[in-house]
Structure 1
Amino acid sequence: MTKACKYILVHILETLVTCVFHEDCILPCSFLPTGAVVIHWYKQQIPVHSFYYRQDQFGLQNKHFSGRTSLFNPQIAQGNASLVLRKVKVQDRGRYKCYTSTRKGNQETFVNLSVKALIQMVKVDIIEEEVICQAQNIYPLPQLYWSTEPPTDLNNLYNHTRKTADSKGLFTIESTITILGNISQHVYFCSVVSGDRSQVWTASVKQQDKFGEEGNKLFIPCMLPQPQHNFTLTWTFIKTTEPIIIFTYDSRSQRITNSWEKKAKLDIQQAYTGNGSLTLLHPESSVHTGFYTCTLSSFQMKHQVHTWVNITVPRTGTII
């Protein structure tokens, strides 16, 4: 006499998901719906989310996930057991298991979750005899590279790079190099590359001096990398402490704002080639002497040229 055997159907699937830090993320899981279902989500052995008796069960949920998980409850009857994980943290990375059980059998789906915090900005500043580059709140650990224009032997760049992590697991990377020769001889480029190499953020800085006489046109050069995407060009001026915006151009809207319309001009068409130079039309010593900054901002790039401008009063001859 042959004994009846009961077979339990088990499926094992695996998915890779990358979530962005502090954003919501979906961990996919589906099953063949056949009446009532039990759903358990685990990270390793840690309870993440459970659903049975037709409702969410939060009693065993680990406090790390408290208030941050949900299912697509109206779609469970159609076989959707996907998990929504809100405000993703670095600590959320790891291997998750979605376990579903119906009268037709059990299924296990595994999701490998990785986390990345995107590079939002790279700052480069010249302070005395050093160039400092910094990027914050990044994950995983990025890499930082220096270069100059005109090119120079990178072995001549004394490079001190420091990498630190905060309590959230996000990295700050900061690097310092010494000025090469005369401060105005080089443009300094700093590139930060994300750990998965999906992002390359580049910033640059140049510092220079310019001298002119009252009443004579003065050309303030600003040569920048040619923008490949929509960009914003901005000129600011500092006389004492607070900077004022004297010129902006947005290539997306093609909007121009020039608060020095009768004092300065700029060729917009040249800006598309990377030439953002400004011309002072009738400079005055008491008004236009100061610190000018030309900034080009575009997709994953920011480039600046700082110029100290000194407008002098022409000497007058003495009649004897």
Structure 2
Amino acid sequence: MAGIGKIIFRIMIGIIILLVGAIALIIGLSVAGNSSTNAVITTNAVGQINNNVVLGCTFTPDTKQSSDVLWEKVGLTGTVYKYVKGKISLTDQNIVFKGRTSLFPNELTNGNGSLLLSNVQLSDIGTYKCTITNSQGTGSNTLYLNVGAFSPITVTNTTPTTIHCESPSWYPEPSVTWWNSTSADLTPQANLTNSSSTRIVPGLSVMMQVITDLKGAVVDTQYTCIIQNGLAKAQGIAKFTVTGLKTDARLDLIGSAAILSPSVFLLCLLAVLAYPAAL
């Protein structure tokens, strides 16, 4: 049985070595046989309706020549933005982006090809592609832009035992939950949502206002109201003390994350596969 185990173990090691070799060959051919050698990193973005958003795109800086930057939106004809040989080129820019896009020219030498998109609209939702070309070759990567509305929470009290949370602008419609905590580390302990009352009030355009109240609050207990949709999470924190109501608030975006280019991903995968083979 021990002999069979050793044979199986050696077969598995052999398979891993073959996989590592195949991936190494693919990477080698990619580097030697085409120009897709730039490692481009993009960042998923969350945009606020009528505000500006930065679509993140970074690459290895080129000290030999100016880097060309091309931004496109998947499924849309024309370009979003193009910068070629040190000059802006918008002759084939799609009309929906006219007057709403710009780079950070002084940052190109630092490897930053990020795009500033202004006056963001729901129609801007989608997948964008950033392509970089310079003396190191051409590399590209994509990111996803989501768009909606979200805003911080204002926390007050309307009676000595009622906590009032209000936030003016949300889209899509968010969920609302309430929690309390009496533990030393303030970990939420009880879901009080069913004891609260919430109103969703139509606002400007598609946006909506959220108003929610919790009655029966007691001294020295922390209460948290959470307003959340797929784009952002807002928290309002309140605690009655002998000196009055203490409050705090925070707003966090959801879904922003860096994305590795295919070449970087393959190198990472190669390292992961090579590790067990070295054991």
Structure 1 length-normalised TM: 0.46
- The structure with more radius of gyration: 1
SS in structure 2 of the partner of residue 9 of structure 1: coil
The structure where helix makes up a greater share of residues is 2
Report the alpha carbon displacement of residue 143 of structure 1 after superposing the two structures with TM: 1.8
Aligned position for 1:28: 57
Aligned position for 2:97: 65
* Unaligned runs of at least 5 residues, structure 2: 1-31, 182-189, 252-279
Change (3 A) 1:98 1:63: same
* Unaligned runs of at least 5 residues, structure 1: 1-5, 180-185, 204-223, 226-273, 277-293, 302-320
SS in structure 1 of the partner of residue 80 of structure 2: strand
Q: Does 1:42 align with 2:72?
A: yes
Change (3 A) 1:103 1:202: closer
Structure 2 length-normalised TM: 0.51
Residue identity matched to 1:193: I
* Distance in 2 between residues matched to 1:154 and 1:135, nearest whole Å: 19
* Distance in 2 between residues matched to 1:65 and 1:158, nearest whole Å: 44
Report the alpha carbon displacement of residue 137 of structure 1 after superposing the two structures with TM: 0.9
The structure where strand makes up a greater share of residues is 1
Change (3 A) 1:139 1:131: same
Change (3 A) 1:170 1:42: farther
43-52 vs 16-25, which moves further: 16-25
Which structure 2 residues correspond to residues 108-187 of structure 1 after superposition, within 5 A?
A: 108-115=140-147, 117-122=149-154, 134-139=166-171, 141-146=173-178, 157=195, 161-162=199-200, 164=202, 166-167=204-205, 169-174=206-211, 186-187=216-217
* Higher relative contact order (Cα pairs below 8 Å, separated by 6+ residues): 2
Residues 104 and 115 in structure 2, CA contact (< 8 A), matched pair in contact too:
yes
Which structure 2 residues correspond to residues 1-320 of structure 1 after superposition, within 5 A?
A: 7-11=33-37, 13=40, 15-19=42-46, 21=48, 22-30=51-59, 33=62, 35=65, 37-46=67-76, 47-76=79-108, 79-102=111-134, 105-115=137-147, 117-122=149-154, 134-139=166-171, 141-146=173-178, 157=195, 161-162=199-200, 164=202, 166-167=204-205, 169-174=206-211, 186-187=216-217, 191-195=225-229, 198-202=233-237, 224-225=239-240, 274-276=241-243, 296-300=246-250
Percent identity at matched positions? 19
* Distance in 2 between residues matched to 1:192 and 1:155, nearest whole Å: 10
Change (3 A) 1:50 1:118: same
CA RMSD of aligned residues (A): 4.6
> Would you say how many aligned residue pairs link Structure 1 and Structure 2?
201
